[in-house]
Amino acid sequence: MEHFAITDVGSVREHNEDSYLVKEYGDAALFAVFDGMGGAKAGEAASAMARDEVEKYFDGFFREGGRTEPAAIQAALASAADRANFKVFSLATTDATYEGMGTTMVAALCIADKVYVANVGDSRAYLLDSDGAMQITRDHSFVQYLVDIGKITPEEARTNPKKNIITRAVGVDKEVSVDVSVLEKKQYKGKTLLLCSDGLSGYFDAPALAEFCRTHEDCESMARAMVDAANAAGGSDNITAIVAKLK
What is the tens place of the pLDDT at every residue in 198-227? Answer: 999 999 998 999 999 999 989 999 999 999
For the entire predicted model, the pTM comes to 0.96
What is the tens place of the pLDDT at every residue in 69-78? Answer: 999 999 999 9
Find the CATH number of the domain harbouring 32. Answer: 3.60.40.10
- For CA atoms 156, 159, 161, 166, the dihedral sign is positive
Order of strands, edge to edge, in the sheet holding 124-129? 3-8, 239-245, 192-196, 124-129, 132-135
> Helix (H, G, I), strand (E, B), or coil: what is residue 42?
helix
Q: Which domain holds residue 80?
A: 3-245
Statement: residue 55 has pLDDT above 90: yes
Statement: residue 66 has pLDDT above 80: no
The structural domain count of the chain equals: 1
The arithmetic mean of pLDDT across residues 104-118, rounded, is 97
